[in-house]
């Protein structure tokens, strides 16, 4: 018996990753690397703003839950202004203020992903909750905030 596409971890991760990549075009993103500063090929200078997206707990049930940690990071940001700008940009994609939804939370298209074939939309996910940490600073002077994002979706 095959696992239902709504219960496949690969589909869940691919859908969430696509949401961030599509929602933040041109932004420096890393996946499952924590606070690691991205290395951009062909760029001689270091990156001073980026997002790290780490996939956390996954609980598959009738109403499944996926925890995603988003690290909003800056360098050479003595007053934290760039960090505030980065945080605001991330909240723009995590929330929806179009008036379509009363909860103001963004929806994520849920895909059946394939390595060599077109992806097929199999439903949707909803961002249920965002918990924001205070500003912190790493030993290498990276300023960062952690956003703990709870995503819910139906599974079989």
Dist. CA 7–CA 155, nearest whole Å = 6
> pLDDT digit of tens for each residue in the chain (156 aa)?
688 999 999 999 999 999 999 999 999 999 988 777 777 655 556 789 999 999 999 999 999 999 999 999 999 998 999 999 999 999 999 999 888 888 999 999 999 999 999 999 999 999 999 999 999 999 989 999 999 999 999 999
Dist. CA 105–CA 86, nearest whole Å = 18
Dist. CA 91–CA 70, nearest whole Å = 11
- pTM (2 d.p.): 0.91
**Positive or negative CA dihedral for 85, 91, 92, 94?**
positive
Which pLDDT score, from 0 to 100, does residue 99 have?
Answer: 81
| CATH topology for the 5-28+47-154 domain | STM4215-like (3.30.2000)
- Using DSSP, how many helices (H) and how many strands (E) does the chain show? 2, 7
Most distant pair of Cα atoms in the chain: their distance: 56
Number of other residues whose CB lies within 10 A of the CB of residue 30: 19
């Amino acid at each position: 018996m095959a696992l239902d596409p709504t219960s496949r971890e690969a589909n869940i991760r691919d859908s969430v990753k696509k949401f961030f990549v599509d929602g933040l075009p041109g932004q420096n993103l890393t996946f499952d690397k924590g606070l690691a500063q991205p290395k951009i090929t062909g760029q001689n200078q270091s990156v001073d703003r980026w997002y790290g997206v780490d996939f956390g707990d996954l609980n598959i049930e009738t109403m499944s839950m996926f925890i995603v940690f988003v690290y909003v990071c800056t360098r050479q940001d003595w007053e934290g202004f760039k960090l505030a700008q980065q945080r605001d940009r991330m909240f723009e994609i995590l929330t929806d203020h179009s008036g379509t939804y009363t909860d103001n939370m963004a929806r994520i298209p849920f895909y059946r992903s394939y390595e060599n074939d077109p992806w097929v939309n199999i439903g949707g996910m909803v961002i249920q909750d965002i918990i924001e940490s205070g500003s912190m600073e790493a030993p290498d002077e990276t300023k960062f905030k952690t956003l703990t994002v709870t995503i819910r979706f139906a599974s079989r």
